[in-house]
């Protein structure tokens, strides 16, 4: 038996990544997700999960998942269209559509799949997509898979977007943008983009993975900015602020019906377990009623920015994502490790995920003010080396 020669190539590639401080590996949690977690027997303050509201291990959401398993079983057994669409999912879709102020919605197992579903379901050859350069990787993959013509514009550059739209002769035009950019935390100029969609008869697809639950009293970035239009197709993920899993797409009924008929990542996959929908309904109850969680999160964001304004290069973010740009990947890895050793779990994000290495700090409603203050003190210490 000989080892495939390709394995040697893989090993060389991985060694190169290690040398360049770009090797990726995982840490294993021994506890549920939360503001405080246990990794290899050590309790850490967790400043890198997207569980913004601390709902991933919330008692009422966990209880709803358990009751959901008892009522609906574990597996869905089929795709939504064949035999895998349950009453609890129908109820969740209706509630999520109303929450987004849209007539209809569908759910998918992950946000990644939702992005593939919308873009490949709505556009193809002869059409064009217009995308912000720092959109999420899943949107980039979705565009490539769709075979539509891809036009990228510089980050939040509305004038550049207009030039591309004006020059396009494509049949269908789809503008694609993160509402809150996942590695920078800033908000896209959605009002201006919607105006351009009107002028150039385009649709506007908004990925609100990081605004849902956090902005607009929990309804997300569109509510925060007071925007609504049938031209907007809205997607939010449910594994971040909602603390569960999956994603939903909300739009006009005809758009949702079209996606159910055309989107392969929706049609050709086993539906998520129905207990996920049961947990999500409980999570929505908390998102709706427990406004104190959001207030605490926004207080932490303000506290963090005030504490570090004079000592770090902060980005213009008013969301839970607060990056600190660092000079190079080696520094990013070293600083992240120093924080880890001191009991603070903070992710170093490197190319190719981002062009400039950084710490991606994520604040959480379940932290205490004291814990946020301790993080800021430690950051000042490790960044002054």
- Please say whether the beta carbons of 362 and 47 come within 8 A: yes
The residue number with the shortest CB distance to ligand PMP is 111
Q: Within positions 130 to 149, which residues make up the interface with ligand PMP, using CB under 6 A?
A: 136, 138
SS3 assignment, position 227: coil
Catalytic residue (choose from 182, 283, 317, 336): 182
Cβ proximity of 273 and 75 under 8 Å = yes
Work out the burial of residue 370: count CB atoms within 10 Å of its CB; fewer than 13 is exposed, 13-18 middle, 19 or more buried.
Answer: exposed
Annotated binding-site members: 24, 111-112, 136, 182, 210, 237, 353
**Residues that constitute the known binding site for substrate:** 24, 136, 353
Shorter beta-carbon distance to ligand PMP: residue 99 or 379: 99
What is d(CA 168, CA 315) in angstroms, rounded to the nearest whole number? 33
Q: Of 178, 224, 290, 371, which one interacts with ligand PMP (CB under 6 A)?
A: 178
Count of beta carbons in the 10 Å neighbourhood of residue 281: 18
- Residue 7 CA: distances (Å) to CA of 10, 18, 212: 5, 17, 42
Alpha-carbon distance of 164 to 130, in angstroms, equals 8
Residue 137 to residue 140: CA distance in whole angstroms: 5
Q: Could you give the dihedral angle defined by the CA atoms of residues 21, 27, 32 and 35, in that order, rounded to the nearest 10 degrees? A: -30
What is the CB neighbour count within 10 angstroms for residue 53?
25
Task: Pick the closer one to ligand PMP by CB: 111 or 243.
Answer: 111
Q: By CB under 6 A, is residue 237 in contact with ligand PMP?
A: yes
Asked if 207 is part of the footprint of ligand PMP (rule: CB under 6 A), the reply reads yes
Q: For residues 358 and 371, which CB has a smaller minimum distance to ligand PMP in the complex?
A: 358
Per CB under 6 A, 247 contacts ligand PMP: yes
Of these, 64, 209, 242, 278, which contacts ligand PMP (CB under 6 A)? 209
Q: For the chain, where are the alpha helices, taking DSSP H only?
A: 5-19, 59-72, 87-100, 111-122, 137-146, 158-167, 190-199, 221-225, 253-262, 264-267, 274-289, 291-308, 329-341, 369-383
Least distance to ligand PMP, CB of residue 284, Å: 16
**What is the closest distance, in whole angstroms, from the C-beta atom of residue 336 to ligand PMP in the complex?**
18
Is the Cβ of residue 301 or residue 308 nearer to ligand PMP in the bound state?
301
182 is catalytic: yes
Is 58 an active-site residue? Answer: no
**151 classed as catalytic:** no
Contacts with ligand PMP, 95-114, as mask; x by CB under 6 A = ---------------xxx--
CB of 122 to ligand PMP, least distance (A): 17
Give least dist CB 121 to ligand PMP, A: 16
Spatial CB neighbours of 95, under 8 Å, sequence gap ≥ 6: 281, 284
Active-site annotation holder among 80, 151, 173, 240:
240
* Angle at alpha carbon of residue 213, lines to 207 and 218, rounded to 5°: 110
List, in order, residues 6 or more apart from 2 with CB less than 8 Å away: none
Is 123 in contact with 174 (CB distance < 8 Å)? yes
Total Cβ atoms within 10 A of residue 226: 8
Q: Which of 58, 151, 210, 300 does the annotation list as catalytic?
A: 210
Nearer to ligand PMP, 107 or 182 (CB): 182
Nearest approach, Cβ of residue 241 and ligand PMP (Å): 12
Q: Which is nearer to ligand PMP, 213 or 239 (CB)?
A: 239
Residue 186 CB, nearest distance to ligand PMP (Å)?
12
Contact set with ligand PMP (CB under 6 A): 110-112, 115, 136, 138, 178, 182, 207, 209, 237, 239, 247
Residue positions annotated with a catalytic role: 182, 210, 240
């Amino acid at each position: 038996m000989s080892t495939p020669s390709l394995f040697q190539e893989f090993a060389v590639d991985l060694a190169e990544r290690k040398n360049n401080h770009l090797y990726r590996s995982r840490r294993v949690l021994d506890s549920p997700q939360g503001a405080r977690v246990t990794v290899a027997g050590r309790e850490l303050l967790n400043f890198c999960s997207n569980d913004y509201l601390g709902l991933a291990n919330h008692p009422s959401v966990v209880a709803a998942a358990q009751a959901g398993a008892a009522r609906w079983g574990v597996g869905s057994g089929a795709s939504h269209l064949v035999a895998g669409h349950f009453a609890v999912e129908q109820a969740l879709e209706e509630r999520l559509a109303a929450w987004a102020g849209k007539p209809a919605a569908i759910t998918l197992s992950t946000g990644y799949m939702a992005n593939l579903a919308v873009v490949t379901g709505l556009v193809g050859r002869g059409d064009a997509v217009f995308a912000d350069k720092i959109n999420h990787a899943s949107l980039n993959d979705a565009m490539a898979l769709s075979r539509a013509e891809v036009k990228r514009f510089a980050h939040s550059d509305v004038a550049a977007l207009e030039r591309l739209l004006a020059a396009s002769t494509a049949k269908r035009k789809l503008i694609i943008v993160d509402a809150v950019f996942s590695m920078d935390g800033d908000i896209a100029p959605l009002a201006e983009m919607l105006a351009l969609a009107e002028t150039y008869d385009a649709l506007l697809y908004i990925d609100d993975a990081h605004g849902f639950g956090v902005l607009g009293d929990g309804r997300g970035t569109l509510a925060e900015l007071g925007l609504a239009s049938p031209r907007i197709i809205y997607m939010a993920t449910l594994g971040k602020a909602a603390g569960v899993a999956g994603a939903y797409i909300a739009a006009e009924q005809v758009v949702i019906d079209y996606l159910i008929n055309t989107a392969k990542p929706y049609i050709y996959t086993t539906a998520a377990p129905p207990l996920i929908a049961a947990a999500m309904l409980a999570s929505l109850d908390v998102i709706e009623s427990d406004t104190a969680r959001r207030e605490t999160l926004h207080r932490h964001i303000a506290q963090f920015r005030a504490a570090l304004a004079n000592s770090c290069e902060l980005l213009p973010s008013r969301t839970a994502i607060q990056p600190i740009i660092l000079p190079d990947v080696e520094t990013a890895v070293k600083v992240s490790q120093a924080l880890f050793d001191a009991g603070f779990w903070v992710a170093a994000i490197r190319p190719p995920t981002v062009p400039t290495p950084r710490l991606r700090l994520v604040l959480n409603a379940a932290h205490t003010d004291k814990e946020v203050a301790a993080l800021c003190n430690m950051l000042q210490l490790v960044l002054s080396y």
